[in-house]
Amino acid sequence: MRKSSISIVFLLGLLLRSLSAKSKEEPLAPALYAFGDSLVDSGNNNGLPTLNKVNYMPHGIDSSMGPQGDSTNGKTVVDFIAQMLGLPFAPPYLGLSRAQRSQIITGVNYASGAAGILPESGRRMGKCISLKEQVDYFQSTIEMDLARNFKDLEAISDHLSKSIFFISIESNDYINNYLQPDYYNTSRQYSSQKFAGFLMHHLSEQLKKLYKLGARKMVIFEIGILGCIPSFTNANNSNGTCVEEVNKFVFEYNRLLPVLLKKLKSDLFGSFFIHGQAFDSGLNVYQNPCFKYTNIPCCIVNHNETKLFIPGQAPCKDRDQHLFWDSFHPTQAANAKTAAGCFNQSTTCSPMNIQQLALIKKDNPHFDLIEVD
């Protein structure tokens, strides 16, 4: 069992080194811009008044940089994708000074732990940056920072049209909103089908805005196996099994996402949308024999509302065999499999993988930034 888990990391290391060698000449994309929640947050929550902070040990224990604000023991999916593209890690927007922001053209991470599509999702535990706010920050990046590095709007547009945009942010609209009727009334206002449609409407608005700002190549991840995360499997007498009622809510959302992306692809000229099939991919990883522990977190978590790592506690030693780092977030080993499945395979993303997306040339010979109201 241990030998199999090591081989996953070893093979991924060979892939990263191979891609890194190729990227010394030129990366596959000029930049990676990330939007999302704690699955991809790289430290934006560090300076916010919130309980959702993970900038302490043993988070990042397997990273040379130590705890930076990532909810895992090492790299997130976005970190792996950046490496595979031949790019540096996308730094957290709020962790950069004004001077630093003006110098970065290889991408920025706007993700925020506990955040969702809806502004109110996750706010019960403090401040977080909703998807709309993240897109607004991206607009500031264009107007305040990229404008300093490119000669005109056409050059900025060319840069953005070749860049990769990664979005994964819907989980907290369920975990920290719909599934908490004591604090939110959305489950009383909407049936599961109508709530999924409500979220899809708001997601569509932000994807359209990203397009208007210049994004052309977008990777949109659906919700993963929410009912199988330890927060649910180890609660309410679930006996370690997946909570199918929660997964049914997820299904209502996930079945609408590819329909939306297909429509946007048709409506927005020159756009490309990849659908990250996180549920089926997560289920495959959940059933993968390389992961010996699928519902046991690698760390000792607290029993308050965050269910995050207790600071200073030693994590498990066999981290490559654990699927989950804490009650919500996957380990680096699990992130590696998800990233590889979406980057150069066909197991996670459709209708193409990220490597194929990055190599697509512009259909439209001229992309103009469209003014956003």
Asked if residue 80 has pLDDT above 90, the reply is yes
Mean of all residue pLDDT scores within the chain: 89
Q: Average the pLDDT over each of 2-16, 62-76, 269-283 and give the range with the smallest value.
A: 2-16
pLDDT bin (cut points 50, 70, 90) of residue 124 is very high
- Asked if residues 37 and 172 have their Cβ atoms less than 8 Å apart, the reply is yes
Cis, bond preceding 92 (omega within 30 deg of 0): no
- Asked if residues 327 and 310 have their Cβ atoms less than 8 Å apart, the reply is no
pLDDT bin (cut points 50, 70, 90) of residue 311 is confident
Residue 150 lies in a domain: yes
Asked if residue 17 has pLDDT above 70, the reply is no
Residue 69 lies in a domain: yes
- Asked if residues 276 and 339 have their Cβ atoms less than 8 Å apart, the reply is no
Cβ-based burial of 64 (10 A; exposed 0-12, middle 13-18, buried ≥19) = exposed
Q: What is the pLDDT of residues 19-35, one digit of tens each?
A: 444 445 699 999 999 99
pLDDT bin (cut points 50, 70, 90) of residue 11 is very low
Residue 367 lies in a domain: no
User: For position 66, what pLDDT does the model report?
Assistant: 87
Question: Beta 349-350 vs 272-276: how paired, if at all?
Answer: antiparallel
Q: Average the pLDDT over each of 92-101, 130-139, 302-311 and give the range with the smallest value.
A: 302-311
Q: Taking residues 188-198, what's their average pLDDT?
A: 98
Residue 366 lies in a domain: no
Asked if residue 264 has pLDDT above 50, the reply is yes
Higher pLDDT, 287 or 255: 255
Angle in degrees, CA 303, 305, 308, rounded to 5: 65
Residue 21 lies in a domain: yes
In the chain the beta strands, taken as DSSP E runs, fall at 32-36, 164-168, 217-221, 272-276, 349-350
Dihedral (Cα; 242, 245, 249, 251), 10-degree rounding: 60
CA 75, distance to chain mean position in Å, is 12
Residue 25 lies in a domain: yes
pLDDT over 90 percentage in the chain: 77
CA 342, distance to chain mean position in Å, is 12
Instruction: Report CA-CA distances (Å) from 57 to 35, 40, 67.
Output: 24, 18, 6
Closest CA to 134 of 163, 167, 104, 97: 167
User: For position 259, what pLDDT does the model report?
Assistant: 98
DSSP-derived secondary structure for 8-42:
HHHHHHHHHHHHHHHHTT--SSS-EEEEESTTT-S
Asked if residue 162 has pLDDT above 90, the reply is yes
Q: What is the pLDDT of residues 32-61, one digit of tens each?
A: 999 999 999 999 999 999 999 999 899 999
What DSSP designation does 324 have? B
Residue 369 lies in a domain: no
User: For position 309, what pLDDT does the model report?
Assistant: 74
The domain in which residue 179 lies consists of 2-359
Q: Which amino acid, 287?
A: Q
pLDDT bin (cut points 50, 70, 90) of residue 2 is very low
Q: Report how far residue 81's alpha carbon sits from residue 315's, in angstroms, rounded to the nearest whole number.
A: 25
Asked if residue 306 has pLDDT above 90, the reply is no
Q: Which amino acid, 11?
A: L
Higher pLDDT, 214 or 288: 214
> Catalytic residue numbers?
38, 326, 329
| H-helix or E-strand spanning residue 251 | helix 244-254
pLDDT bin (cut points 50, 70, 90) of residue 238 is low
Q: Would you state the structure tokens that stand for residue 117, as one six-digit string?
A: 């599509």
Give this prediction's pTM. 0.90
User: For position 10, what pLDDT does the model report?
Assistant: 41
Q: Would you state the structure tokens that stand for residue 306, as one six-digit string?
A: 């965050």
User: For position 23, what pLDDT does the model report?
Assistant: 43
Asked if residue 16 has pLDDT above 60, the reply is no
DSSP-derived secondary structure for 203-235:
HHHHHHHHHHHT--EEEEE----GGGSHHHHTS
Residue 372 lies in a domain: no
Q: What is the pLDDT of residues 106-123, one digit of tens each?
A: 999 999 999 999 999 999
Asked if residue 82 has pLDDT above 60, the reply is yes
User: For position 312, what pLDDT does the model report?
Assistant: 76
- Residue identified by tokens 């790592």 is 309
Q: What is the CATH number of the domain that holds 194?
A: 3.40.50.1110
Domain count of the fold of the chain: 1
pLDDT bin (cut points 50, 70, 90) of residue 328 is very high
Q: Would you state the structure tokens that stand for residue 292, as one six-digit string?
A: 């010996």
